[in-house]
Each structure stands twice: as C-alpha cells, then as structure tokens.
C-alpha cells in the first residue's frame, strides 16, 4: 500500500433527483449539497462538490431512492 487515499467522484442525474436530501444526510464527507438549480419537474436537485474529500464510499448511491447517483473511485 502506498498510503495514497482514494478519491471519489459522484455523478447525479438531475432529472431523476427529487431533492429528498438522503444522499446529503448520509455523506460522511459532506461532499453533496442541495443546489439552487431546479430540474424539469421543479425539484431543487442535489449537487456534488468535487473539491471535497469524497472517497467514493457509495453511501449516497445506496441511499438514493431514485437511483439518480453513480459513484466512481480513482
């Protein structure tokens, strides 16, 4: 092991998101927030902050009832 920590990336399908905020509540790094952007259904959608400490744990994707989140690690 090189001591390098994993860096994660979250992709949110804004048209599937209904702004329930479960992903925000369960993100241990606080890398997801509720944006001021509305989707076509009129919901404020979740957004990912790529400058955060996301490790790609996947808690957000597991909690999303609308399967609107994909997680990748590098």
Domain 8-73: top CATH class? alpha beta
Give the start-to-end residue ranges of the domains of the chain: 8-73
Confirm if 54 and 48 have CB atoms less than 8 A apart: yes
Encoding tokens for residue 65?
């009832």
**Residue 74: band (very low, low, confident or very high) from pLDDT cuts 50, 70, 90:** confident
In tens, the pLDDT along 21-70 reads 999 999 999 999 999 999 999 999 999 999 989 999 999 999 999 999 99
Confirm if 58 and 10 have CB atoms less than 8 A apart: no
Residues contacting 42, CB < 8 A, separation 6+: none
């Amino acid at each position: 092991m090189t001591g390098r920590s994993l860096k994660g990336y979250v992709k949110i399908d804004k048209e599937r998101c209904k702004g329930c905020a479960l992903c925000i509540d369960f993100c241990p790094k606080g890398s997801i927030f509720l944006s001021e952007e509305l989707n076509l259904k009129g919901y404020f959608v979740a957004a990912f902050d790529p400058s955060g400490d996301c490790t790609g744990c996947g808690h957000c994707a597991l909690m999303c009832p609308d399967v609107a989140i994909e997680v990748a690690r590098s």
